Amino acid sequence: MKKYEILEKYFGYKKFRPLQEEIIDGILESKDVLMILPTGGGKSLCYQLPSLIMNGVTIVISPLLALMHDQVMALRTNSISSAMLTSMQDKEESYKIEQELLKGNIKLLYIAPERLANGYFLNFLHKLNINFFVIDEAHCVSAWGHEFRENYRQLNILKDQFPTVPISAFTATATTEVEEDISKHLQLNEPIKVKGLVFRSNLTIKSVNRIKDGKQQLLDFLKRHKNDAGIVYTLSRKSTESIAEFLQTKGINAKFYHAQMETKDKNKVYADFVSDKIQIVVATIAFGMGIDKSNIRFVVHLTMPKTVENFYQEIGRAGRDGIEAETLLLFSNFDIIQQRNFIDELPDTPYKDNVYKKLDKMTRFAKTEICRHKSIASYFNDTINECKDKCDNCLSPEIKKVDISIASKKLLSTIIRTNQKFGLIYLIDILRGSKDKRILENNHNDLSVYNIGGEYTKAQWITIGDRLLELEAIIIGDFKVNFLSQFGVEILKGMHNIEIRKDRLEIKKEKTVKVKKYNLNYDENIFKDLKEIRTFIAKLHNIPPYMVFSDKTLMELSTFKPKTQTQMLNIHGIGDIKFQKYGKDFLEYLNIINKI
């Protein structure tokens, strides 16, 4: 069967998304591949589809049991033979799966990376006809990434043990440094590298100062998302519990999730969320990696994540179905101090220095006034235009700005007069006339710029420094030394006026930004009825509702109201397999509607 026939029959799509076909063709040609594609871009299909065409079994290495379980369940609903082997299974169940593998009856096998350290299992793999290995969440391989895992680092064993078997590595996030580390460590052989655009056009991103504990801001935000599924991230176990309880007192169906919970309790919350029995999960970062739930409409951070990678991956869990979704970051300077305290406890290594740098970049992102999508893209070495209407900075250009040209010249001049050898805090201390021992020993109290910056607080000067970093007037070198770019030199010469949003120099209550909720003019009443039919069918088959049909599919059904099987197969996400399993009940209802 050809790839387009499989695409339509098993996955319900008429055409590939951008970049998918390039990777699929590479896999079919038995080449190593590395794909960096934002969440919701369709990475899973890139290896699931060629597996159906190729002889043998595909071994998928994945970091989380919940993720593997969801993937296997979704494949089976599409009548694709798949299985997972984990420590949770008893010997009898594992033996049955192994026998099916030896008979060639399974197309995709999901395993955790630590299973490859088991000598028995490694020997068993050598008995199979493996067409290619898949490494999901491949950024976990790199010590320079944001979720480094030691058992992922051991995956270099694959090329040693199976030198002729191709490897396909997939991740949603990777800087250039991480990308190179993944390729080198996995010993990929001249891999086909495909990197998707970082821009997620259906995500609206907001970032504002948190007021007190952020609870009222969270409630104001949730008013726009009544009955929508969402995730609220916070830093500690205690705060997940208190926020979930707070939301419950407001009549909101919310549960907490953190790593210290009993496994059965975590699994229950996870299963109830993907099955739409819970509206909101309040969680630490222990929740959500690789979650397949497609109809998450919002993600809120009540504390600032430690890296841009973490933030980007976590907000990427919203809007996987391509429908409009919204994200909100609430942060305070206390978050920054708390994160730095965590890093301070690490041993002094290059890794520790790297973590400090990542935190600094996340801090600047939270406070930036340039397009947030453009800022994220720049972090991942991508270049895009301003989003225009998908972030708070672009949606609110009318916010009053103040001129900081004189202040900028003062700071830039201080950098020059200290021979571009010091960090920002030291430079600010000079401007504010500090009698710090180091300043006196360096005779920097004798400089003309000493004590000329009393008009701003230390925190405000840091914000001004951040603004100059955003504009790339200042560049940070090794050991956090600040030096001027050519643009910085031009500012110092008076060739440019520099402005900053007034609200960045003061704490201000967040402004409500209206967000277009969905991008289809669908019939809301029909949509609601279709969701009820979906829920009934999901319970009947004991699967999450989104595995029946996505919200996007239901919206198209309520918009176009197909009358026949042929018309229904033209709807996004409905192929022959899914129509035969679930489509007839929906079509019966729509035909009743069409007669009214």
Q: What is the pLDDT of residues 334-350, one digit of tens each?
A: 788 788 888 888 888 77
Is residue 8 packed enough to be buried (19+ CB in 10 Å), middle (13-18) or exposed (0-12)? middle
Residue 307 burial (C-beta neighbours within 10 Å; 0-12, 13-18, 19+): buried
Task: In whole angstroms, give the CA distance from residue 102 to residue 593.
Answer: 50
Is the pLDDT at 364 greater than 60? The verdict is yes
- Sketch out the chain's domains with CATH numbers: 3-195 (3.40.50.300), 203-395 (3.40.50.300), 401-505 (1.10.10.10), 524-595 (1.10.150.80)
Sheet of 280-283, strand order: 203-209, 325-331, 296-301, 229-233, 280-283, 254-257
CA dist 332 and 304 (Å) reads: 8
Name the residue type at position 205. I
Beta bridge partners of 109: 59, 83
Q: Is the pLDDT reported for residue 22 higher than 50?
A: yes
Compute the mean pLDDT over every residue in the chain, rounded to the nearest whole number. Answer: 88
Q: Number of C-alpha atoms within 13 angstroms, CB side, residue 259?
A: 8
Task: Answer yes or no: pTM beyond 0.75.
Answer: no
Q: What is the 8-class DSSP label of residue 116? A: G
Confidence of residue 398 (pLDDT cuts 50, 70, 90): low
CA 445/CA 483 separation, integer angstroms: 20
Q: Which helix (H) or strand (E) holds 330?
A: strand 325-331
Which residues, other chains included, contact 141 with Cβ-Cβ below 8 Å and sequence gap of 6+? 135, 148, 152, 153, 155, 169, 181, 182, 185, 186
* CA-based nearest residue to 184, from 148, 143, 217: 143
168-226 pLDDT, tens digit each: 999 887 888 888 999 999 999 999 999 888 888 899 999 988 888 899 999 999 999 99
CB-based contacts of 344: which residues, under 8 Å, 6+ apart?
none
Checking if the pLDDT of 515 tops 60, the result is no
Q: For residue 351, what pLDDT is reported?
A: 76
Structure confidence at residue 511 (pLDDT): 41
- Going by their DSSP bridges, the two strands 325-331 and 203-209 should be labelled as parallel
Bridge partners (DSSP) of residue 520 are: none
Query: Interhelix angle for 333-344 vs 350-367, to 10°?
Result: 170
